[in-house]
Every structure is written in structure tokens, then in C-alpha cells.
Chain A
Amino acid sequence: MTRSPVLRVGVKILLPYIMLFALYVQFHGDLGAGGGFQAGVIFAAAMILYSLVFGLEAARRVVPPRVAEVFMALGLLLYGGTGVAGLLAGGNYLDYAVFSPHHPQHGQHWGIFAVELGVGLAVSAVMLSIFFSFAGRRRAE
């Protein structure tokens, strides 16, 4: 944790925009550059910045490690589950066109949205968990 007021205030101002940018990259990724991988990494980077300035304990209160672990699995499940939903709708695994029989293009769009969301959740949770486990380790002498 740093006591420097410049850093603390500066980071407080920056953080909302970084997270907003992560959300933008996540949900605008099919229209412009971006997607789940980038959004996940940017979100994790925002949390890491918070933790560097305000301390690991504060970051752990915002995102408990337990929650990060759950989201890790949840993201992957969302990806796999989208594939299974395609199966249930009568198509192939990971075939999104069947979600909207009359407008296969919309089905594709929904499928991509769900899959990217899964990727974003999984990536940000994994990156955060990795950071927490490195930062929480004490130096052995």
C-alpha cells in the first residue's frame, strides 16, 4: 500500500475508466477490435493496479479469491454450455446459427456474445487468481 496522495487520487480517477474500457472492449468486440481475451486481461489489470496502490487486503475485499475461483470455472462452463445449448437446439456442438432459425446471423451474434463473455470471465478470473497467489506468498528465508 502506498501513502503517496498523488498515486492514490490518480488511481482512483483512472480506475473507473479502465473498467469501463474493459466492458467496452468486451461488449463491442464483435463490432470493432476487441473481445473476451483482451477485456479479461484489462479488467484483471485494473484490479491489479488497485491492489498495488491500496494493498492486497483491500483488493481481496473487493474480489475475494474464492469468487475469482468460482468465476474461473463459470466462464469455461459458459463457453462449454453454449456449445451444449447448440446441441439441444438441434445443431452441432458450438454451432450458433440454430439459436435463431429464421435469422441465422442473429443466432451467430448471440452465440459469439455468450462465448466471448465466457472467455472474458474465465480470463479475468484466472489472471486475478494468479496475481493473488503470487502476491499473497511470503518470501521464504
Chain B
Amino acid sequence: MTRVLGLYNYWITILLMMTGFLMVIWRTNFVKKVIGLSLFQTSVYLLYLTMGKVQGGTAPILNGSAVYSHPLPSVLMLTAIVVGISTAAVALAFVVRIREAYGTIDEDELKALDDAE
């Protein structure tokens, strides 16, 4: 029971990661794939942050209290979130251009169009 409570957070992040992964490899719609990537990404943020947590700690803003959670995961994930949205925007821009060039954003239809040529 202790083990389940102690590791539940990792298991949930792994589950989130796997749902994102499933979405990327299974769904054929490109917007769905981008959503899957962003689910995956959020799970990675959570995985990092959950490792930095200390029981009974507070946010790492120094005020004389004794226990702080680790600041490094926060720093890494803070920048990663903003980089993540920028790269997702590039991916979405590609989706828009693909729609304009092919008239579809479905992977299978795209493949059929390419094969037909």
C-alpha cells in the first residue's frame, strides 16, 4: 500500500504519456497528432516536477523557512512550456499549409493522394 501511494504519481504520469503516445501513432488526423504531442509534453513536465517535490516543503522562494522543493525542475519546465507552445505553433502552421496544398489533413488520405501521383 505504501508502495502504491508512493509511486502513484509516476504511474499516472506514465499513463498520460502513453495516452499521448497512442494518440500520435493511432489517430490519423494531424491536429489530433499535435494534441497527442502536447499531452505527452505535459506529462513530461509533471514527471520532472514530481521528482523535485519534498514532503512538507514549500515553493523555492526564500523566506527563512526550512524546507524547499528543488528549484531546478521548475526552471527547466518553465522554459520548456513556452518552447513547447512555440514548437506546437510551428507544427500547427505546417498542418495549415498541408491543408492548403492537399485539401486534407488526414494521414491516410494524404498517403493515397501521394500514391496516386
Shortest Cβ distance from A123 into chain B, in angstroms?
6
Closest 8 A-B residue pairs measured CB to CB? Answer: A140-B100, A130-B89, A37-B82, A37-B78, A123-B82, A126-B86, A32-B61, A137-B96
Q: Is the CB of B78 within 8 A of A35?
A: yes
Report the separation of the CA atoms of residues A130 and B92 in the bound assembly, to the nearest whole angstrom: 10
Report the separation of the CA atoms of residues A134 and B99 in the bound assembly, to the nearest whole angstrom: 14
A–B Cβ pairs within 8 angstroms, 10 of them: A33-B59, A35-B78, A37-B78, A37-B82, A38-B78, A130-B86, A134-B89, A134-B92, A134-B93, A137-B96
Q: Binding site of A, secondary structure by majority: helix, strand, loop or mixed?
A: helix
Report the separation of the CA atoms of residues A137 and B82 in the bound assembly, to the nearest whole angstrom: 23
Q: Does B55 contact A (CB under 8 A)?
A: no
**A-side contacts of B59, CB under 8 Å:** 33
Partner-A contacts on B (CB < 8 A): 59, 61, 78-79, 81-82, 85-86, 89, 92-93, 96, 99-100
Partner of A133, one of B78, B81, B86, B93: B93
**B-side contacts of A126, CB under 8 Å:** 86
Given A130-B89, A133-B93, output 18 extra A-B contacts at Cβ < 8 Å.
A33-B59, A35-B78, A37-B78, A37-B79, A37-B81, A37-B82, A38-B78, A40-B82, A41-B82, A123-B82, A126-B86, A127-B85, A130-B86, A134-B89, A134-B92, A134-B93, A140-B99, A140-B100
Partner-B contacts on A (CB < 8 A): 32-33, 35, 37-38, 40-41, 123, 126-127, 130, 133-134, 137, 140
**A-side contacts of B92, CB under 8 Å:** 134
Report the separation of the CA atoms of residues A130 and B84 in the bound assembly, to the nearest whole angstrom: 13
Shortest Cβ distance from B38 into chain A, in angstroms?
15
**A-side contacts of B79, CB under 8 Å:** 37
Which residue in chain A gives the minimum CB-CB distance to B78? Answer: A37
**B-side contacts of A32, CB under 8 Å:** 61
Report the separation of the CA atoms of residues A35 and B89 in the bound assembly, to the nearest whole angstrom: 22
Report the separation of the CA atoms of residues A35 and B61 in the bound assembly, to the nearest whole angstrom: 13
